[in-house]
Amino acid sequence: MQRMHLHLVSDSTGETLEMIAKAALAQFDNPDVVRHFWPMVRSRQHLDRIVPSLAASPGLVLFTLVNPETRARLEEHCRQLGLPAVPVLDAVTAALEVQLGEEAHGKPGRQHLMDDAYFRRVEAIHYTIAHDDGVGWEDWEEADILLAGVSRSSKTPTSIYLANRGYKVANIPLIMESPPPPALFGLRRPLVVGLTTAPERLVQVRRNRLLSLNEGTETSYVDSEKVREEVQFARRMFADNGWPVIDVTRRSIEETAAAVMRIMQERTDRPGEGGEDGEGAI
């Protein structure tokens, strides 16, 4: 397979550009790609400094530059070097201009402005970190979402991902020998979601966790029958309380979070109908 150089040129942090490139590359089988990342390119001088690198490692150039002069100069350099250059947001921005009936502002990094949404996201992250693993149950009513599940069912990473999307998330491990606080069953504001997984997969994840900590694996924590009982215990609790359930066995953290957000949106669209998925796993 031929190696390809991919240049990502952005006038902001480049986070959006990286996500687009990652999503597009995921459609190919193990492409041999060398990424060159050029963030915060906002001046002619800065752009001119990266041109030698474009010439030394010719390849595809993806860019998000809103300044017309900087953008035109990059496109001219690419023409001279014979490099394809793709403005990845142009089609979307143009479509939005038509639908919204106004022109885009053309200011770099507007999605990173420290507006109300930014501060809500920061607050959500602080809340989520402080309410991990059953801690701070007295404040659970302040949460947007509460994730419940047995140990190693991806509650914490999913919580952090959701927090970065602006949701206050608490999570609690369900332990057969230690009942959860009664507050869990009386929550009114938060959406409570149960996370479940295949016992066989859970044993594997737990075993790997113990090995990474240099701990022995001769424990009930990874006993197949004991784990199966834990999962059944959790699923009964989900069903008894009508909580929606998500099976994370074959889901990435992003996919699990997307499923949670979908349930959250459905709850918002149809208030009073939360928990309708409690009879089966998503």
Q: Could you tell me which residues are annotated as the binding site for ADP?
A: 149-156
Q: Let me know: does 154 contact 195? Beta carbons within 8 Å.
A: yes
CA dist 32 to 19, 25, 26, 55, 115, Å?
Answer: 18, 10, 12, 19, 39
Q: What is the DSSP letter of 175?
A: B
Q: Which residues are annotated as a binding site?
A: 149-156
Closest of 193, 82, 183 to residue 136, by C-alpha: 183
Q: How far apart are CA 233 and CA 149, in angstroms?
A: 10
Q: Let me know: does 243 contact 210? Beta carbons within 8 Å.
A: no
Q: How far apart are CA 205 and CA 218, in angstroms?
A: 15
